[in-house]
Amino acid sequence: MEHTWRWFGPNDPVSLAEIRQTDATGIVTALHHIPNGEVWTIDEILARKAVIEAAGLTWSVVESVPVHEHIKWGGPERDRAIGNYAQTLLNLGEAGLKTVCYNFMPVIDWARTDQRYELDNGGFAMRFDFIEHAAFDLFVLKRVGAEADYTPDEVERARQFFESADEATLAALSDTVLLGLPGSEEAYDLESLRAGLALYDGLSAHDLRENLGVFLRGIVPAAEKAGVRLAIHPDDPPRPLFGLPRVVSNADDAQWLLDAAPSWANGLTMCVGSYGSVATNDVVAMTRRFADRIYFAHLRNVTIEADGKSFFEDGHIDGGSDMVGVIRELVREERRRADAGEDAAVIPMRPDHGHFLLDDLKRPTYPGYALVGRLKGLAQLRGVELAVTRTLEYA
């Protein structure tokens, strides 16, 4: 596999020079300064590519070209935004960038409730507490009709949390939910979040899925022409939030997506932590089933808590998913592609959502994107990959 590293551009606290020292060779990044829905020009793409290459690295994956909200809910700017997205893909292909990771999560991107969950070893991880999320939804956001999305017991537990929490705790919770985590498309305050959610009033999972189909059929021809492989990222977490449907949450969703626009250009990102945060998703079986359409891998792990809905970011080779099994399937697929003489035989992967460890605690760090924590994860994952590769060679 190609070992890559998420970099958020010139303002990222982790520099390209530091990334080189991790032994990652590829960069995963995006042009975050360009507004959602606008075309990425060739000049802008080449300028960012030149910065990366000057540091001795390769821009391997675009993550992500954001999908405009009008595409997701079917707003009046949908056709224009789809056209701009298609043109961006053509420009990326012309610039030599061939893998694009994106997501189709409405309004709220990946969601957590705690950026500093303390671990037994003294480090910190991110966490999603379902009851704290419910408390924010019910008693901070005060979303109309929210109680219908929770059981009476969950509502009562959320109420108890809200009433016992001090101002600092509630402020930290609100900041984590509203202000946008790295890679999120938008940041919100309470009023703008309510306005964003209102656009989806009455939109069912079927409607959202159909809008995804319209989007795919609008951009896949451009991706084919550009030689670009699209790799959709699953919902994180893969369950409805704030009354919003989710449509990239399990194997059935993945199959629907691939069938909606049959093409080699229409593929998947295997995010082990996202799919693995619901116990019914067998990530090894999913990796095996969809191997030939997996174009990118986020290798991270989570531990699901007793309620079945909360989880925390565990070590990359710990947690509830069989990371060794996932890597074995990816290595097998790379060998199949190489033997068949296919393009893109090597699958880029990155260590995702590292713990806050050691010097990470003393330096500015984006939530989930600590230097030392990801370095540890990359070292562990590379060791697993090497062991799997050697085992297959000796078999």
Query: Quick check: is 352 catalytic?
Result: yes
Q: In terms of C-beta density within 10 A (0-12 exposed, 13-18 middle, 19 or more buried), how is residue 55 classed?
A: middle
Which of these is catalytic: 3, 68, 316, 353?
353
Residues 6+ apart with CB under 8 A from 38: 84
Query: Quick check: is 369 catalytic?
Result: yes
Tokens of 3: 């070992």
Peptide bond into 348 cis (omega under 30): no
Which of these is catalytic: 233, 235, 316, 360?
233
End-to-end CA distance of the chain: 20
Which of these is catalytic: 137, 150, 253, 271?
271
* Residue 132 near residue 169 (C-beta atoms within 8 A): no
Which of these is catalytic: 150, 188, 295, 369?
369
Diameter of the chain by CA atoms? 62
Which of these is catalytic: 298, 316, 355, 360?
298
Which of these is catalytic: 114, 129, 352, 360?
352
DSSP conformation class of 23: T
* Residue 91 near residue 225 (C-beta atoms within 8 A): no
Tokens of 68: 């405009």
DSSP conformation class of 194: H
Q: How many CA atoms lie within 13 A of 338 on its CB side?
A: 9
Query: Quick check: is 101 catalytic?
Result: no
Other beta carbons less than 10 A from residue 247's beta carbon: 24
* Residue 194 near residue 141 (C-beta atoms within 8 A): yes
Query: Quick check: is 233 catalytic?
Result: yes
List, by residue number, the catalytic residues.
Answer: 233, 271, 298, 352-353, 369
